[in-house]
Amino acid sequence: MKIWKLILLIAVGLLFPLIGKEGYLTHLAITILIFSILASSLNILMGYTGLVSIAHGAFFGIGAYTSGILVLRHGLPFLAALPIAAAFTGLIALGIGVPSFRTRGVYYIIVTIAFQLIASEIFDSWYAMTGGGLGLRGIPRPGEIAIPGIGLLSFKSKFGYYYLVFTFTLLIHLGIRRIIHSPLGVSLMAIRDNETKALMSGLNPLSYKTFIFVLASALAGLAGSLYAHFLEFAHPDLFSFFVSVDLFLMVMLGGAGTFFGPPFGVFILEMIREFLHEFVALRLFLYGLLLILIIIFLPDGLLKPLSQLGHRLRSKIFSAKEGSGDFTGN
Amino acid sequence: MTLLEIKNLSKSFGGLMALRDLSLGIEEKTIFGLIGPNGSGKTVTFDCVTGFHRPDRGRVFFQGREITGLRPNQIALQGIGRSFQITGVFHNLSVQQNVIFSAQDKRVLRNFQSSFQASRGRPPQAMEEKIEQLLDFTGLKELKGEVASKLPHGVQKILEFGSLMLMHPEPILYMLDEPFSGLTQNELVRYLSLIRELRSRGKTFLLVEHNMRAIMDVCDWIVVLDYGEKIAEGPPREIQTNQKVIEAYLGTPA
Amino acid sequence: MIQVVVNGLVNGAILALMAISLTIIYSILRVPHFGLGGIFVWGAFGGFFAVTLLKVNFFIAMLLAAASMAVLGVLIEKAAFKRLRAATEDAMFVSAIGVLIALENAALLLWGEQTRSIPVPQLDFVFLLPGGVRLPAMRVLIFMVVGLAILGLYFFVKKTRMGKAMRAVAQARVAARLLGVPIDRVASFTFAMGSAMAGIAGALVGASFTFSFEMGSLSVLKAFVVVVLGGLGSVAGAIAGGFMLGVIDSFTLTYVTSQYKHLVSFSLLILILVLRPSGIFGQKLGRPQ
């Protein structure tokens, strides 16, 4: 991808809060960024390695609750709680992942669903730890840091928190991009395309699957920590089976196995959510229809056909300029 | 030296006995053929040798070392390259990516580490040259960027074969399962010449095939299976006139 | 204690019915039809409206529920699954989840979120069995209906031509098609039967307990646990697994904890799948190619 596009994106990202300030737009942007981390991490699992998981919401939640509890009840600073939460989530993923890879295909998806439901039930029922159906309230925002040359950046404000999340999102996506274009990326895609052949080429699928599952889940846990401290609240409904399906839809809608697809999918679905904010049932109904339509007609996602359309339009415009004559037919 | 030694291999699935007490030995630098009617146990033999099935009884030795029961990736690292009846390529990857994958290191942590190095894990100069050489050798150079699933069937088969050559470590024994199925005459001639070229470089081949002309043409030695048992073995000329073999394929005259 | 077992068997019967629907659709068409959860909900609503609006008795209401769900099921097959016949199971699974979500939320949109119950005054009495066991008449009906459904299914599959066609497609689809078996019709019939059964299950639950738009997901997931326990594709396994899980759940609820009720069944599911990746009776998936 051309470097100027990257710079443009980063610039837009950096300047955005100057428009949004403390308003709802910034709130929305933060949500989109956090969900992009979730979608992209799910994508390396689903789109690049071929491991369809409906448990990502659960790991999102584990990270959120862990971080919230560490700061709220044990007084850890945010910058310590975040990595611990991510690492702990990765550890749980290790425990559930390794045995689950003995299963294949639909059975594997079912195992992830079962795990998601177990996690949801624990979030809901372990009142002492998670606050159960009431949720975990009062999770504090991190404080402030001093940036040389700019001054004090407070994360207590939306403005400041935006930059925190933006930094993480950027770094994580750069890292994911590196992985995709590396031998690791090729190996994961090989496992996705033909695991038997990968096996016969000397690769051990179990070690790769374990590695990527732990990595993706740890990233989800990290996103959870960011989310919990943003909302200052955690609740089982935020990390449920339906959230996992949401994430799945985001990846599919944008295009599994592409780099920009999932964040695009996040954007589209968040826009739909905003539009239909009051009409939850209608929105979910549309999600259901969307799932069916996408998988039948656009299994590669929305981004690819849209960008191809964009290319075609662009070339039409350019050829019209160079073309013979003008519009009057001379 | 006997490169691959199969001793008393037996395997059954459910009640069905797929292999009965099969023993055979493959000398190095030979092209060895394994033939027999459908269901005679050829692919099962391959699967048992390359670790996809655990034999019920019997043992397999490669270069004098026992490899019975090892997993396929471990066997690959011993120096055995194996192709599949259903063409084994990575469909969504390009020809070049297919080949690079074969050549690169397979250890996950090593790969992760190299992603973040300055080189971004790009293959070292020496390997890049080997890859170019391979693409030349197999005639795939122009198709470097093509996605594997879009290639014609015969080209996919050649790609599969080519990627085996670049495996790391390089295979000493090539086990090819129906490599010629679906090939055009030209493609077949090309493939055979590649095999002969590699043999002259000291490689050994074990082929399962149904294309009798090709097998009789290229093999030094042939083993015939029927119902999981070895019913004949010898040079092609002898096999062609062997009564038991003819009966196995055509049935006894009424 | 017997009460616990009896309660468990009642729930198990419903689970078994759902599980059978899931498993026949899977074994014949390779579709993991989570959408049946939505049909389950709509069946309950169908029964409800039949009784309250059309003023028919419950038995007719059940038949209406079955018939209407059969039609809906066929429509869903054509809309959401027909074009995916050659696709991977993952793709069909996605579509099925889409159907589930769409149906549940459509019900929410159309009929609201309140929990209702189907009134069946004719069966408003309770059998008092020895040992102090209470068996509401409605629950006896559940046993009877489920039993009839199983028998009906058995005779249909074993004796009729369509049944034979269904079995043929289950065993070897390509061969069946080459031999002239009408796959489209088999698919329609399979979905019709599975949906009818799920619809009846919904009506039964709606009458014996309560129902709402959101009961579908959990029911179908539980049914999936059963199907996996018994093995995807095995009707016997679905029946056995259904009753087993119903009793296990009942015991867990009563003696262990009322909070983590699903934890046990889902943990059991994971354990079984990991130890025996094809379930207890199930078909083995081929080597990944």
> Which of A15-29, B50-64, C241-255 is most confident?
B50-64
What is the structure's pLDDT at A116? 93
Q: What is the 3-state secondary structure (H, E, C) of chain A?
A: CCHHHHHHHHHHHHHHHHHHCCCHHHHHHHHHHHHHHHHHHHHHHHHHCCCCCCCHHHHHHHHHHHHHHHHHHHCCCHHHHHHHHHHHHHHHHHHHHHHHCCCCHHHHHHHHHHHHHHHHHHHHHCHHHHCHHHCEECCCCCCEEEECCCEEEECCCHHHHHHHHHHHHHHHHHHHHHHHCCHHHHHHHHHHHCHHHHHHCCCCHHHHHHHHHHHHHHHHHHHHHHHHHHHCEECHHHHCHHHHHHHHHHHHHHCCCCCCHHHHHHHHHHHHHHHCCCCHHHHHHHHHHHHHHHHHHCCCCCHHHHHHHHHHHHHHHHHHHHCCCCCCCC
Q: Does C101 touch chain A (CB under 8 A)?
A: yes
Q: What is the 3-state secondary structure (H, E, C) of chain B?
A: CEEEEEEEEEEEECCEEEEEEEEEEEECCCEEEEECCCCCCHHHHHHHHCCCCCCCEEEEEECCEECCCCCHHHHHHHCEEECCCCCCCCCCCEHHHHHHHHHCCCCHHHHHHHHCCCCCCCCCHHHHHHHHHHHHHCCCHHHCCCEHHHCCHHHHHHHHHHHHHCCCCCCCEEEEECCCCCCCHHHHHHHHHHHHHHHHCCCEEEEECCCHHHHHHHCCEEEEEECCEEEEEECHHHHHCCHHHHHHHHCCCC
B106-163: per-residue pLDDT in tens? 888 888 887 777 666 677 788 888 888 888 888 888 888 889 999 999 899 999 999 9
**Does the reported pTM lie above 0.80?**
yes
Q: Given a cut of 70, is residue B90 above it in pLDDT?
A: yes
Query: B110 CA to chain A: closest CA distance, Å?
Result: 9
In chain B, the residue whose alpha carbon lies closest to the alpha carbon of C288 is B52
pLDDT at A324: 46
Other Cβ atoms less than 10 A from the Cβ of C286: the count is 8
pLDDT of residue A264: 93
How confident is chain A (330 residues) per 10-residue block, as mean pLDDT? 78 81 85 96 94 94 95 89 96 92 82 90 87 85 74 79 92 92 92 93 93 96 96 92 91 90 93 85 89 88 80 75 46
Task: Inform me whether the pLDDT recorded for C279 exceeds 80.
Answer: no
Contact (CB<8Å) C97/A282: no
Q: In terms of DSSP bridges, do strands B2-13 and B57-62 run parallel, antiparallel, or are they unpaired?
A: antiparallel
pLDDT at C287 exceeding the cut of 60: no
Which candidate from A102, A109, A291 shows the least CB-CB separation from C277?
A: A102
Note the pLDDT of residue C286. Answer: 36
- Which one is predicted more confidently, C235 or B65? B65
Is residue C286 less than 8 Å (CB to CB) from chain B? Answer: no
The model's pLDDT over C25-62, given as tens digits with 9 standing for 90+, comes to: 988 888 889 999 999 999 999 999 998 888 888 888 99
pLDDT of residue A70: 93
CB-based contact B161:B176 (threshold 8 Å) = yes
C-alpha closest to that of C92 among A282, A268, A287, A52 = A52
Of the pLDDT bands very low, low, confident and very high (cuts 50, 70, 90), residue C278 is low
Q: Is the pLDDT of residue C288 over 70?
A: no
Phi, psi of C80 (to 5 degrees): -105, -20
In this structure, are residues A220 and A199 in contact, taking their beta carbons and an 8 Å threshold?
Answer: no
Nearest Cα to Cα of residue C276 among A117, A221, B172, A111:
A111
What does the pLDDT read at residue C57?
A: 86
Decide: helix, strand or coil at residue C136.
strand
Of A271, A245, A258, A270, nearest in space to A308 by CA: A258
Interface probe for B, chosen from A200, A207, A258 (most Cβ of B below 10 Å), is A200
> What gap in Å lies between CA A50 and CA B162, rounded to an integer?
25
Which candidate in C26, C88, C110, C266 is best for mutational testing of the A interface (most A CBs within 10 A)?
A: C266
Contact: B84, C287; criterion CB under 8 Å: no
Annotation: CATH topology of C2-275? ABC transporter involved in vitamin B12 uptake, BtuC (1.10.3470)
Mutation target to probe the B interface, by most B beta carbons within 10 A, among A201, A204, A207, A208 is A201
Interface with chain A: mutation pick from B89, B111, B174, highest number of A CBs within 10 Å = B111
Q: In this model, does residue C197 exceed pLDDT 90?
A: yes
Q: Are A142 and C283 in contact (CB under 8 A)?
A: no
pLDDT the model gives residue A1: 55
Residue C138 class from Cβ within 10 Å (0-12 exposed, 13-18 middle, 19+ buried)? buried
Query: Is C260 in the A-facing interface, judged by CB distances under 8 Å?
Result: yes
Nearest CB neighbour to A288, from listed C105, C221, C263: C105
User: CA C1 → CA A114, C5, C255, distances in Å?
Assistant: 29, 7, 10
- Taking one residue from B and the other from C, the number of pairs with CB-CB distance under 8 angstroms is 3
Residues of A in contact with C274 (CB under 8 A): 99-100, 102-103, 111
Closest Cα in chain B, distance from residue C287 (Å) = 9
Tokens of B72: 């396929």
- Sequence spans of domains, chain C: 2-275
Which chain C residues are Cβ-neighbours of B84 within 8 angstroms?
289
- Whether the CB of B93 is below 8 Å from some CB of chain A: the reply is yes
* Residues of A whose CB is below 8 A from B102: 201
Is B238 or A91 the better-scoring residue by pLDDT?
A: A91
Note the pLDDT of residue A321. Answer: 56
Overall average pLDDT of the B35-51 stretch: 91
